[in-house]
Amino acid sequence: MMQNQIHLWAFLQGIGFFPTGWKHERARPEGVFHMDYYTRVAQLAEQGRFDAIVFGDQLQSRGAGGRAPERLAMPTLDPVTLLTAMAAVTKHIGLVATVSTTYNSPEMLAERFGTMERITGGRSGWNIVTTAHPDTAPNFGETELPPKDARYRNAVEVVARACELWAEMDREGPELPQGRPVLVQAGQSPDGRDFAARTAEAIFCPAATIQAGVDFRTDLRSRVAGVGRSPDGVRIMPGLSCVLGGTEEEARAEHTATLDLADDALAIEYLSESLCCDLTGFDPLGQIPVDEILAKTLLPQGDVARSIVPGAEKGTPLGEFAANFMRHPRGHNVFIGTPEQMADMMIEWRDAGACDGFTLQPSYMPGGLEDFVGQVVPILQARGRLRTDYPGATLRETLGLPAREAVTA
Amino acid sequence: MTRPFILSASVAEPAFAVPGHARAVLQAAEAAGFDLLMLGRSGERPFDAQVLVAWAAPMTSTLGVVATVPASKAHPFHVARALSAVDFLAAGRTGWSVVPEGAPEGMAEDMVGAARALWDGWGSDTLILDKTSGRYLDASKVKASNYKGAFFKVAGPVNAMRPPLGHPLLVVDGDDPIAIDDADIALVSDGTAAPQATKRLIKVGADADAAMLAERFEAREIDGAHFTLNDALTQLPQIGARLASLLAPRPAGDLRARLGLPIPSTASNQPGGAVIPEIA
């Protein structure tokens, strides 16, 4: 076993991490509607010896106030479908689908992931989410989301019941190679962290700095130990985006150029979506319409006020505020530099205990993934930090976890 | 075009969820010239067929793959999304069959209505994908369907595109029918009332006589045959060999083009499927 091996997950929802990513000259926005794109990127991630591919998900269409955005990449195709198709064109890579416990019954989840687990030969994973977007409820005949604590209480019961159903499916056969899918979680709040500590075998988190990574991982490992599980049985995988260049200057220029692909209209659509309030009818050169936003948003007013009031008090015009908001990296680590510098950074984080590996969020697709696999992966392998072959057949083996582990929900 | 004799079968073997077996069955179905392979059937669904059609999409190139969807163990928002994605990955080769399986009366029909409304919430020409102008899509083509049925209330728009087929082929099994009068394909048995559909396939046993089928096809009593398989790997090649004389070459294109099945005019507010702009 290699010392301080770095695990890699590829987060491939949409056309990349940057809202402008689809406009990049090396992006293929039409690709996400064609199988050949998924074959290409799945095989690329497998070539880079990633543990798994992850697709995020939402159960509402993008937009705000009933208006769909025109300048943001959408829609998001169903992750279980995309990942299962990718299993058919790969041999080793794990396939982790984001699916909600609030809007699926345990029976539906068990049947869906049980079938996925069988047909992928034991490479399935479930990123358990409780769904937080207020626009979701009307798609399921409801007026509003259940409160957060109720969603998490329900999630614990749903996961436990699904695990019972998988045990039954496994007994009846054909067997589920891992017993059940690998359980993955991404909650940040205390409720979410406790749920993850009891349930998850891998955890995503944002960590903008190495210290934030150390703090999160230390906290999670102590919560895991606190419920009687081994902290070494959980992989902590902070998000990581990157812009690479032959020199640091080239990488910075490329980063700026990617952000500059945004115009005011794109930035305002992005801000509208983030605030749950349609701002596309407002003058980009005018004031931030604070009262209008607070009256119309479906998000908690306090959270929204905290993000817009300081800008409004400074008199920042709406378009400029939206552009700055869009450039903010949402709490994730965005690395800008050379492939050697990136490998150094990843090794430093791993050795400092800031993570077990990274969830790569390519800045645009498929070019961002091609660059990472072509330029950074060989360096990590040469330094003995990234596997050059897969250790076994199942995702659990790839993660270095016991073949089967029962949930302690 | 020549009227095609449609060759269809259903598989419900638990082993179809295991990759080695599923691959062999899919290859056998394509090699035997089948147009449709339905995964699961009423009362026999030992797997989630919506997952397996996704796996089948890149494994096949001409076969239509049909997912059985249980009315009472699915939600139209999820179903509409899953089948939209499969139809893109299969380049317009998907179908679905909602099975009541004891669901409350009207629930299966409500599922069909809700999913169709969600697919119709996206225009066929929604996507623009123009990097220069920065317009990804035409927002005026994306609409909330606000579907309100007895069982399902779904606001939309769905977080999925209109499928390439517009709507995947809707298959209704006359032995567990749903009250839809504009399905694409009905599976009918002799001596029972046939559901309304554009094409009728007679349900027959694996040893069905080719001459009898040809005669009824020529008389326009039927548009093809549907086989309920219990040993797919053995039966598919046998059926293909026996019925080879009935199978004419198909025109190129998606499943609707191959089988001569436009979207029923009652089923959709627009006749076409999604078009993905070519990027230079």
pLDDT in tens, A381-409: 999 999 999 999 999 999 998 777 654 44
From A278, A308, A327, the end of a domain falls on A327
Other Cβ atoms closer than 10 A to B169: 26
A231: preceding bond cis by omega (within 30 degrees): no
Size of the A and B interface in Cβ pairs below 8 Å: 180
C-alpha span between B199 and B177 (Å, rounded): 15
Q: How many domains does chain A have?
A: 2
Q: Are residues A228 and A258 in the same domain?
A: no
Q: CA nearest A28 in B: which residue?
A: B279
* Inside any domain, residue B46: yes
The answer to whether the Cβ–Cβ distance between B144 and A66 falls below 8 Å is: yes
Which strand (E) or helix (H) includes residue A225? helix A210-226
- Say which amino acid occupies B268: S
Q: How many domains does chain B have?
A: 1
* Inside any domain, residue B213: no
C-alpha span between A361 and A369 (Å, rounded): 8
* Inside any domain, residue B185: no
- Report the half-sphere exposure of B220 (CA within 13 A, side-chain side): 2
CATH number, residue B91: 3.20.20
What is the tens place of the pLDDT at every residue in B149-183?
A: 999 999 999 999 999 999 999 999 999 999 999 99
What is the tens place of the pLDDT at every residue in A221-255?
A: 999 999 999 999 999 999 999 999 999 999 999 99
Return the SS3 of B10: strand
The answer to whether the Cβ–Cβ distance between A77 and B137 falls below 8 Å is: no
- Report the half-sphere exposure of A388 (CA within 13 A, side-chain side): 6
* Inside any domain, residue A358: yes
Q: Are residues A114 and A227 in the same domain?
A: yes
**DSSP code per residue over B103-151:** PPTTHHHHHHHHHHHHHTTB-TT-EEEETTTTEEE-GGGB----EE-SS
Per residue, what are the HEC states of B225-280? EEEECCCHHHHHHHHHHHCHHHCCCCCCCCHHHHHCCCCCCCCCCCCCCCCCCCCC
C-alpha span between A127 and A125 (Å, rounded): 7
* Average pLDDT value for residue range B117-124: 97
* Inside any domain, residue A407: no
* Inside any domain, residue A404: no
pLDDT value, residue A378: 98
pLDDT value, residue B193: 81
Return the SS3 of A29: helix
* Inside any domain, residue A405: no
Alpha carbon of A119: minimum distance to chain B alpha carbons (Å): 5
CB A203 within 8 A of CB A234: yes
Q: Are residues A296 and A352 in the same domain?
A: no
- State how far the alpha carbon of A289 is from the alpha carbons of A12, A269, A286, in Å: 34, 15, 8
Average pLDDT over chain B reads 96
Q: Are residues A322 and A195 in the same domain?
A: no
C-alpha span between B176 and A38 (Å, rounded): 37
C-alpha span between A259 and B83 (Å, rounded): 34
pLDDT value, residue A404: 72
C-alpha span between A355 and A347 (Å, rounded): 10
Q: Are residues A153 and A130 in the same domain?
A: yes
Q: Are residues A33 and A182 in the same domain?
A: yes
> For chain A, what is the total number of helices (H) and then of strands (E)?
15, 9
pLDDT value, residue A35: 98
From A274, A304, A327, the end of a domain falls on A327
pLDDT value, residue A408: 45
If pLDDT is split at 50, 70 and 90, which confidence band does A188 have?
A: confident
Q: Are residues A192 and A226 in the same domain?
A: yes
pLDDT exceeds cutoff 60 at A17? yes
The answer to whether the Cβ–Cβ distance between A30 and B277 falls below 8 Å is: yes
Q: At what angle do helices A190-199 and A148-172 cross, to 10 degrees?
A: 10
C-alpha span between A8 and B43 (Å, rounded): 42
CB B232 within 8 A of CB B25: yes
If pLDDT is split at 50, 70 and 90, which confidence band does A4 have?
A: very high
CB A200 within 8 A of CB A236: no
pLDDT exceeds cutoff 70 at A303? yes
Q: At what angle do helices B76-89 and A35-47 cross, to 10 degrees?
A: 80
Q: Which residues share a beta bridge with A344?
A: none
Q: Are strands B153-154 and B147-148 parallel, antiparallel or unpaired?
A: antiparallel
pLDDT value, residue A329: 62
Q: Are residues A148 and A169 in the same domain?
A: yes
Nearest to A174 among B18, B86, B152 (CB): B18
Q: Are residues A227 and A131 in the same domain?
A: yes
With b for 16 or more beta-carbon neighbours within 10 A and e for fewer, the A264-281 pattern comes to bbbbbbbbbbbbbbbbbe
Return the SS3 of B62: coil
pLDDT value, residue A164: 97
> Hey, what are A357's tokens?
């590996």
C-alpha span between B144 and A141 (Å, rounded): 14
Mutate to test the interface with A, among B50, B78, B148 (most CBs of A within 10 A): B78
Q: How far apart are the first and last CA of chain B?
A: 33
C-alpha closest to that of A280 among B139, B171, B80, B273: B139
B91 contacts on A by Cβ (under 8 Å): 34-35
pLDDT value, residue B191: 80
CB contact A326 to B (< 8 Å): no
> Hey, what are A307's tokens?
């993000």
Range of the domain at B15: 6-101+165-179+195-207+220-259
C-alpha span between A98 and A182 (Å, rounded): 12
- Report the half-sphere exposure of B14 (CA within 13 A, side-chain side): 10
C-alpha span between A343 and B278 (Å, rounded): 37
> Hey, what are A409's tokens?
């929900």
**DSSP code per residue over A34-63:** SHHHHHHHHHHHHHTT-SEEEE---SS-S-
Q: Which residues share a beta bridge with A67?
A: A64
C-alpha closest to that of A70 among B18, B59, B137, B144: B137
Nearest to B55 among A119, A139, A261 (CB): A119
CATH number, residue A148: 3.20.20.30
* Inside any domain, residue A1: no
* Inside any domain, residue A351: yes
CB A70 within 8 A of CB B78: no
Q: Are residues A223 and A112 in the same domain?
A: yes
- Say which amino acid occupies A296: K
Q: Are residues A164 and A280 in the same domain?
A: no
If pLDDT is split at 50, 70 and 90, which confidence band does A3 have?
A: confident
Q: Which residues share a beta bridge with B203?
A: B226
Which strand (E) or helix (H) includes residue B186? strand B183-188
> Hey, what are A244's tokens?
């690479």
Return the SS3 of A96: strand
Alpha carbon of B81: minimum distance to chain A alpha carbons (Å): 6
Alpha carbon of A54: minimum distance to chain B alpha carbons (Å): 16
CA A88 to chain centre: 22
> Hey, what are A309's tokens?
């009031």
Return the SS3 of A403: coil
* Inside any domain, residue B61: yes
Per cent of chain A over pLDDT 90 is: 89
Range of the domain at A294: 251-327
Q: Are residues A23 and A112 in the same domain?
A: yes
Nearest to A70 among B138, B158, B279 (CB): B138
* Inside any domain, residue A2: no
- State how far the alpha carbon of A27 is from the alpha carbons of A31, A282, A337, in Å: 9, 30, 20
What is the tens place of the pLDDT at every residue in A270-287?
A: 999 999 999 999 999 999
Return the SS3 of B215: helix
> Hey, what are B12's tokens?
């419900």
* Inside any domain, residue B109: no
On the 0-12 / 13-18 / 19+ scale of CB atoms within 10 A, A299 is middle
Other Cβ atoms closer than 10 A to A152: 20
Other Cβ atoms closer than 10 A to A175: 14
Q: Which residues share a beta bridge with B34?
A: none
C-alpha span between A276 and A58 (Å, rounded): 14
From A291, A308, A327, the end of a domain falls on A327
The answer to whether the Cβ–Cβ distance between A75 and B276 falls below 8 Å is: no
If pLDDT is split at 50, 70 and 90, which confidence band does B280 have?
A: low
Mutate to test the interface with A, among B101, B130, B136, B154 (most CBs of A within 10 A): B136
